[in-house]
Amino acid sequence: MKKLLFLSVILAICFSCRKPSNTQIAKSMDNIVVPQGFNWLSTRNINLKLYSGNSFIITITSGDNQGVYNKSYFLGNDSVKNIELNIPSDEGMIYINTYEIKVPSDLQLIELDLDTIIGKISPGNKSLQSTSPISAWHLDEGFGNEVKDSESNNDGILTNASWINGINNSGLGFNGENSNINIPNSDNLNLSQSVTIMAWAKSAENKTAKIAQKGDWDGYGLGFDKWIGWFAHLKFIDGTTSTLKWNHGLPLTNEWYHLAMTYDGSQSRLYVNGVLKNSQDKSGLLYRNARSFSIGSDNAEQKFFNGCIDEVLLYNSALSAEEISNYYNNEDNTDSDGDGVPDEEDDYPDDASKAFDNYWPAKHNGTIMFEDLWPGKGDYDFNDMVLDFRMNRITNADNKLAIIKFTFLLKAIGTGMPNGFGFQLNTSNIQMDDITASGSLLVSDYIELNENGLETSQDKPVIIVFDDANAIMPSPAGFGVNVEKDKPFVEPVEFTITVTLAENKYNKADFRPSDFNPFLIINKERGREVHLTNLPPTNLADQSLFGASDDDTDAPSGRYYTTSNKLPWAILVPRTIHQALEKTQITSAYLKFYEWASSGGAEYKYWFRNRNGNVDENKIYLPPEE
């Protein structure tokens, strides 16, 4: 009896807050016959299965080439990369780098061999430092088969390699089969106490090869391994060796890298793009062999490099970390933070903890629209709260999630109730203790947060963006904001929520766009949440309201926030759209909405786009500049 009385009070409040109903319209929301299973989404998932034996920066963009859906470092090594995209339902095309991919509506899986479509060459323009090496093969001749040593007499003979535009002037391209530069053995090439060897290299094939090497396994040099990428090797007089891996997987195919290996008598070190990548405590004299010094092969006999090489320098001393860094950074830098991603591809070139922006819905915003009389039906203008939103899953060079940044723009309020807004991460893959959230704007006292910025008493991460829209964005006319044409325009309010994750622990698959679960909090009553259709409530939702009034939730079957005739209380659109005017049903403002919903989303997938007569601009709120 108490529960019934409580529900009666709630319903009385709902009806007392109910806005005046529309005049009867032919295409009313109440007349829509919604097909079974329709979830009111204007997005769809497609899965990409990508193959490659090489490494690439993959950028997947929208059909208009304006929005970035996914950006990541594909490590190759004949591996398979699975990428899940959530795109607008009417999107018929995407681009992988500049390659066009058709995505018809019935397509759910794309399988693609990247090696057949993608090849990127980004030559730099490097100059040399002033420190004098004992030998320097600048490879600037540009013609012929003789390679000069500008510091000594260790000239070499070129076989089956081709002159190309290099890092500084010309360089050489090697075919991976029989091309190399052979430099005869000499005393000053047989270093014993210390050494620095450096070169610029750009691989065109994932195969084990040598970049610059004195002898074979019995010498010192720089190389490429088909499993681990760049490495350096030293042989010592006592028979031991030191092998240094760069520990960053396979490098990008057709991208220049600067490699440097040093040994100072106590430690060997490997630098890539001016940054120390590995070191090993080691002492003793280096082994001196009688073999040739070879560029692009192993003693001119095997392990032929397929790619480009330029500016090979040899020192009889170990350059310091500062000298290596200065050599690299005083040039036209291609990788400022040393994370292995060239600056031109790196969205955060000065921050090694971040590399790629991965937007959803894309670089542009989407829109979320709410009705706020749940569990009673509203008037279906979907303007009680209207927000633009965008999510950015920022990853590092290892494609691990670093930060998830959410941007919200509160742009319309069509109610007198002080509503709040938040979202839940519908994932069990990310531990709550690994999350720190910031950016919430709380002006009331009914929300409690943990020290890490997440809401208390939740079993999944819940972030409250704000708790009182009316206080944050007051109405200039007593009721509503930006829902009536004759009322003053109010500038939207922007919120940025930053979710920082434990370092190098989580992948993008651990939090997908479909795991984003936004909700409205009605009238400062924490238990009254409004979610998108079939998305679950949080722990703090009042379970007694489910099934009350017009709500037809059935939790065991996964049915939430829908009426008995399958109508929603919230809608998410993957593009920015304008809200309907107050007391105007969305079906009157967006003229294909009714047909879209009646078809279960099969027809008029572009209902939200302002084209082909889709929108009645007299019935939507347009900001002054539009």
pLDDT in tens, 271-296: 999 999 999 999 999 999 999 999 99
**Pair of tokens at residue 563:** 């009426």
- At residue 129, the pLDDT reads 38
Question: What is the model's pLDDT at position 130?
Answer: 36
Confidence band of 26 (pLDDT split at 50, 70, 90) = low
Res 131: pLDDT: 53
45 pLDDT more than 60: yes
Segment 319-344 shows an average pLDDT of: 77
Lowest-pLDDT choice from 17-31, 52-66, 200-214, 379-393: 17-31
Residue 136 has pLDDT above 50, yes or no: yes
418 vs 522: CA distance, rounded Å: 7
pLDDT digits (tens, 9 = 90+) for 79-128: 678 888 999 988 889 988 878 888 887 778 888 887 776 543 232 333 33
Label residue 472 exposed, middle or buried (CB < 10 Å: 0-12, 13-18, 19+). Answer: middle
Cα angle: 613, vertex 616, 622; to 5 degrees: 120
Do the beta carbons of residue 523 and residue 419 sit within 8 Å?
yes
Q: Give the residue from 417, 410, 468 showing the smallest Cα distance to 444.
A: 468
State the amino acid at position 550 in one-letter form: D
CB atoms closer than 10 angstroms to residue 560: 21
Report pLDDT for 25.
Answer: 56
Q: How far apart are CA 615 and CA 619, in angstroms?
A: 8
Question: Looking at residues 56-61, what average pLDDT do you find?
Answer: 84
- Position 78 scores a pLDDT of 53
Work out the burial of residue 36: count CB atoms within 10 Å of its CB; fewer than 13 is exposed, 13-18 middle, 19 or more buried.
Answer: exposed
Distance between CA 13 and CA 547 in Å, rounded? 17
Closest residue by Cα to residue 13 from 613, 618, 549, 601: 549
Among 345, 336, 392, residue whose Cα is nearest residue 118: 345
N residues, the chain: 626
Strands 180-183 and 170-175: unpaired
Q: What percent of the chain has pLDDT over 90?
A: 68
Closest CA to 414 of 205, 175, 589, 548: 589
Q: For residue 619, give the amino acid letter.
A: K
Record the tokens describing residue 305, joined without a space.
Answer: 């490099």
pLDDT number for residue 121 = 25
Look up the CATH number of domain 135-329: 2.60.120.200
Q: How does pLDDT run across 475-517, given as a tens digit for each residue?
A: 998 899 999 999 999 999 999 999 999 999 999 999 999 999 9
pLDDT at residue number 398 = 86
Containing 16, the helix (H) or strand (E) segment is helix 2-17
Name the DSSP class of 522. Answer: G
Residue 387 binned pLDDT confidence (cut-offs 50, 70, 90): very high
> What is residue 612's predicted lDDT score, i.e. its pLDDT?
84
- What's the mean pLDDT when you consider all of the chain? 89
pLDDT surpasses 80 at 563? yes
Longest dimension (CA), the chain: 102
For the chain, what are the domain ranges?
Answer: 9-38+364-619, 135-329
**319 near 262, Cβ under 8 Å?**
yes
- pLDDT tens by residue, 168-184: 778 999 999 999 999 99
Amino acid in the structure at residue 175: N
**pTM, entire model:** 0.74
Q: What is the secondary structure of 360-404 as a DSSP string?
A: ES-SS-EEEEE---TTS---S---SEEEEEEEEEEE-TTSBEEEE
Return the DSSP state at 29.
G
Tens digit of pLDDT for each residue in 573-601? Answer: 999 999 999 999 999 999 999 999 999 99
Phi, psi (deg, nearest 5) at residue 17: -90, -5
Nearest to 523 by CA among 413, 389, 369, 387: 413
Beta-sheet pairing, 229-235 with 79-88: unpaired
* DSSP three-state, residue 76: coil
Tokens of 371: 């009705």
- With 0-12 / 13-18 / 19 or more C-beta atoms within 10 angstroms meaning exposed / middle / buried, residue 314 is buried
How many other CB atoms are there within 10 angstroms of residue 448's CB atom? 12
| DSSP H stretches of helix in 184-238 | none
Q: Quick one: what percent of the chain has pLDDT higher than 70?
A: 91
Of 145, 207, 152, 209, which Cα lies nearest the Cα of 181? 145
Report whether pLDDT(14) > 60. Answer: no
Under a CB-based contact definition with an 8 Å cutoff, are residues 463 and 453 in contact?
Answer: yes
The residues, ordered by sequence, that sit 6+ positions from 338 with a Cβ below 8 Å of its Cβ are 272, 273, 274, 275, 352
